[in-house]
Amino acid sequence: MKKLTRQIKIGNVPIGGGAPCSVQSMCSTDTRNVAATLDQIGRLAEAGCEIVRCAVPDMDAAQALAAIKAGSPLPLIADIHFDYKLALQALESGVDGLRLNPGNIGERWKVAEVVKAAAERQIPIRIGVNGGSLEKELLVKYGHPTPEAMVESALGHVRILEELNYREIKISIKVSDVLRTLEAYRLLSDAVDYPLHIGVTEAGTIFSGTIKSSVGLGILLHQGIGDTMRVSLTGDPVHEVRVAYDILKCLGIRQRGINFVSCPTCGRCQIDLIPVAEEVERRLAHLDKNITVAVMGCSVNGPGEAREADFGIAGGRGEGLLFKHGEILRKVPQDKLADALIEEVLKP
């Protein structure tokens, strides 16, 4: 059962309170380049991203957020570190959320200024604890970024906001190690009822990062932990969105895009299946339909899997059978299999 947390809103996207786990990403562009940033946000939106975050390294970037917000199809979060003036300008620019740690903003009056401005606009704040930037005193106390150290850090930042009577909060607590991330989120989930933003930070490239994120986030989501998520990958952020939806889809939490099934190939396979499978998956990646498409390579499991799918092919010797809703439509030569399957899937 999913843990019921408090609900906040980032723009029109509900977070927590029983709402579906939302999918986020972060722009890799220079925020000061408004055109490039909006172009990337547009591609993220097409992929299904629901919330986007932009880095705010300086005042020029904070001011550029106004134009980005005006042109963005997605709610916009400003990522702030150290300088409270950047947070104030980001709020003035109309962002829908802030990501900052009150403890690294400086004196309490600076935090109070940011909270006052956020409260006036009903803008939530995400407290984002990262194992790579833990407070020095906690590193001394615990020796390294243990789950307990990260939770203590998060609760300290929460306390600052609560003392200012501010509770429009969500929390993330990330480290690149999957097991420490799991334990940290479990401890945090037991300690608070604020919505949690989950992720395995600095997970790696598209290959290794997808594996780490799928394991870590999959376990947390299955245990009912997680109200919004970002898959952190070294690469085009559009991949982050696609991987996030595949994780949610595998767990039966949310459905976006097709369910793609293909066999791993073996000595029984009598067609060159790998390029066929890759082509079908690539050409149907844009499709947002609740259907299963199967690409199978031999006569052992292939016909059965293909029949269970909405659309499918099962390979034979240099050719394959084309299926639709369990019925064989026709035989198709190997070099025509991908086209035939895609054509059938895309028919009105």
The answer to whether the CB of 276 falls within 8 A of the CB of 312 is no
Angle subtended by helix axes 237-250 and 206-222, to nearest 10: 40
- Is 27 annotated in some ligand binding site? no
Paired with 23 in beta bridges are 229
Distance in angstroms (rounded) separating the CA atoms of residues 192 and 155:
9
16-52: string of b/e by CB count within 10 Å (b at 16+)?
A: beebebbbbbbbebebbebeebbebbeebbebbbbbb
- Is 298 annotated in some ligand binding site? yes
Residue owning tokens 């006052």: 116
- Is 21 annotated in some ligand binding site? no
- Is 49 annotated in some ligand binding site? no
Q: In sequence order, which ranges of the chain are alpha helices (DSSP H)? A: 34-47, 59-71, 84-92, 108-121, 136-142, 147-163, 178-191, 206-222, 237-250, 273-283, 302-308, 337-345
Annotated binding site, which residues? 263, 266, 298, 305
Annotated binding site for [4Fe-4S] cluster, which residues? 263, 266, 298, 305
